[in-house]
């Protein structure tokens, strides 16, 4: 009788322990936001740019989160080398209700066309959109080579 009771106590502790671990892994996650908008694909000419998440507010299921980021510097991004006049194509996970395309100049957002300038140099961009789940902005940078 005593060993039967001990069995149930050990089983109860194991079930509680497994429940705590399950709760910690599934609900608390790994410390990062589990609700984030998907990154778009950005192609400049024939090269795919390294896109970084910027400011967003996003909702998925019964969870929502917002994050605010400052505008990056060239050292903050992984720049890709492109040709002057290359076209910039942004493909989102779903068509946004509204979208924006800006070049970052001296810490300011300047509306611009999705074409790389003809002048050699480093150029940073911010693109974004609004969806039913929320809004999101993304940043990337290019280095225009000499002709």
Q: What is the 3-state secondary structure (H, E, C) of 2-20?
A: HHHHHHHHHHHHHHHHHHH
Distance CA 121, CA 54 (A): 23
The segments of the chain whose pLDDT lies below 70 read: 1-2, 8, 10-33, 147
- The per-residue pLDDT for 34 is 77
Beta-carbon neighbour count of residue 74 at 10 Å? Answer: 13
DSSP E strand stretches across 1-145: 41-44, 47-48, 52-60, 63-67, 80-82, 88-91, 98-105, 108-111, 121-131, 134-144
- The per-residue pLDDT for 142 is 97
- The per-residue pLDDT for 6 is 77
Beta-carbon neighbour count of residue 111 at 10 Å? Answer: 8
pTM: 0.76
- The per-residue pLDDT for 31 is 45
- The per-residue pLDDT for 25 is 47
Place of tokens 């970084």: 52
Contact indicator for 104, 125 with CB cutoff of 8 Å: yes
């Amino acid at each position: 009788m005593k060993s039967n009771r001990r069995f149930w106590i050990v089983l109860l502790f194991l079930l509680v322990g497994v429940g705590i671990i399950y709760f910690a892994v599934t609900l608390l996650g790994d410390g990062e936001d589990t609700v984030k908008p998907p990154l778009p694909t950005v192609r400049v000419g024939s090269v795919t740019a390294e896109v970084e998440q910027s400011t967003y507010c996003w909702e998925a299921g019964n969870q929502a989160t917002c994050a605010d980021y400052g505008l990056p510097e060239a050292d903050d991004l992984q720049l890709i080398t492109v040709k002057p006049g290359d076209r910039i194509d942004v493909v989102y996970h779903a068509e946004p209700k509204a979208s924006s395309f800006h070049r970052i100049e001296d810490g300011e957002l300047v509306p611009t066309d999705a074409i790389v300038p003809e002048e050699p140099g480093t150029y940073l961009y911010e693109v974004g959109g609004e969806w039913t789940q929320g809004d999101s902005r993304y940043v990337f940078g290019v280095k225009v080579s000499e002709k």
